[in-house]
Structure 1
Amino acid sequence: MTYQETIDYLFTRLPMFSRIGAAAIKKDLHNTIALCEALDNPYQHFKSIHIAGTNGKGSVSHMLAAILQTAGYKTGLYTSPHLHDFRERIKVNGEMIAEQYVVDFTKRVQPLIDEIEPSFFEITVAMAFEYFKDQKVDIAVIEVGLGGRLDSTNIITPELSIITNIGWDHMNLLGDSLEKIAYEKAGIIKQQIPVVVGETLPETKPVFEQKANAMQAPLHFSYDEFNVSGKKTIDHKLVVDVQERKTKTAFQYTLDLPGVYQTKNILTALSSVRQLQQQGWKISEEHVQTALATSRQINGLHGRWEVIHEHPTVVMDVGHNEDGVKQIVAQLKESSYNKLHIIIGMVKDKEIEKVLALLPTEATYYFTKAHIPRALPEADLHARASVFKLEGETFEDVNSAISTALHYAAKDDLILVCGSVFLVGEVDVKAIDNRQ
Structure 2
Amino acid sequence: MSPGKTITAPGKDSALSDWLNYLEHLHSTEIDLGLTRVAQVYQRLSPSSSAAKPARYVITVAGTNGKGSTVSYLEHILRDAGYRVGVYTSPHLVDYRERVTIDGDMLSEQQHVQAFTAIEAARGDTSLTYFEFGTLAAFWLMQQQALDVAILEVGLGGRLDAVNVVDPDVAVVTSIGIDHIQFLGDNREQIGREKAGIARAGKALICGDKRPPKSIKTVAEEVGAKLRQSGTHFGYSEADGCWHYRGIESNLLQLPLPQLPLMNAATAIAALESLPLAVSADAIRSGLQRAQLMGRMQQLSYGGCDVLLDVAHNAHAAEYLLQVLNKRYKQRPIVAVVGMLKDKDHNAVFAQLQGRIQRWYLGTLSEPRGNQAQVLAQAPSLQESQAEVQCFDQVEQAFEQAIVDAAASANEKPLVFVFGSFYTVGRINQRIRS
Q: TM-score range by the shorter chain?
A: 0.7 to 0.9
What amino acid is the match of 2:106?
M
Unaligned runs of 5+ in 1: 16-22, 233-238
CA distance in 1, matches of 2:35, 2:433: 43
Equivalent positions of 1:3-402 (< 5 A) are: 3-14=16-27, 23-40=29-46, 41=50, 43-44=52-53, 46=55, 47-112=57-122, 115-201=125-211, 204=213, 206-230=214-238, 240-244=242-246, 249-255=252-258, 257-258=259-260, 262-276=261-275, 279=276, 281-296=277-292, 301-309=293-301, 311-334=304-327, 335-336=329-330, 338-361=332-355, 362-384=357-379, 386-389=382-385, 390-402=387-399
Shift of the alpha carbon at 1:428?
4.3
Change beyond 3 A, Cα 1:295–1:130: same
SS in 2 for 1:426: helix
Change beyond 3 A, Cα 1:433–1:2: closer
Q: Is the 8 A contact 1:227 1:245 kept in 2?
A: yes
CA distance in 2, matches of 1:423, 1:244: 37
SS in 2 for 1:137: coil
Instruction: Please name the residue that 1:18 is paired with.
Output: none
Shift of the alpha carbon at 1:248?
6.2
Deviations 1:57-88 (A, max 9, x none): 11101110111111111111011111111111
SS in 1 for 2:37: helix
Deviations 1:22-41 (A, max 9, x none): x4222320111122122115
Equivalent positions of 1:424-435 (< 5 A) are: 424-429=425-430, 431-432=431-432
Shift of the alpha carbon at 1:253?
1.9
What amino acid is the match of 1:44?
K
Q: Is the 8 A contact 1:227 1:243 kept in 2?
A: yes
Shift of the alpha carbon at 1:425?
0.9
Q: Is the 8 A contact 1:43 1:130 kept in 2?
A: no
SS in 2 for 1:115: coil
CA distance in 2, matches of 1:138, 1:244: 26
SS in 1 for 2:177: coil
Alignment identity in percent? 29
Change beyond 3 A, Cα 1:138–1:428: closer
Worse-matched range after superposition: 73-82 or 357-366: 357-366
Unaligned runs of 5+ in 2: 1-13
Change beyond 3 A, Cα 1:388–1:252: same
Q: Is the 8 A contact 2:340 2:371 kept in 1?
A: yes
Deviations 1:189-243 (A, max 9, x none): 11111111101426x0x212222122222111133344443267xxxxxx54114
TM-score w.r.t. the length of structure 2 is: 0.88
Instruction: Please name the residue that 1:235 is paired with.
Output: none
Change beyond 3 A, Cα 1:307–1:402: same
Note the aligned Cα RMSD (angstroms): 2.2
TM-score w.r.t. the length of structure 1 is: 0.87
What amino acid is the match of 2:37?
N
CA distance in 2, matches of 1:99, 1:42: 28
Change beyond 3 A, Cα 1:52–1:248: closer
Change beyond 3 A, Cα 1:384–1:360: closer
Deviations 1:109-137 (A, max 9, x none): 33555611210111111001111111111
What amino acid is the match of 1:221?
Q
Change beyond 3 A, Cα 1:350–1:96: same
Q: Is the 8 A contact 1:370 1:423 kept in 2?
A: yes
CA distance in 2, matches of 1:66, 1:305: 18
What amino acid is the match of 1:342?
A
SS in 2 for 1:154: helix
Deviations 1:403-426 (A, max 9, x none): 111111135311100111111111
Instruction: Please name the residue that 2:11 is paired with.
Output: none
SS in 1 for 2:353: coil
Deviations 1:356-383 (A, max 9, x none): 2212245200001333110111111112
- How many pairs are equivalent? 407
CA distance in 1, matches of 2:16, 2:398: 31
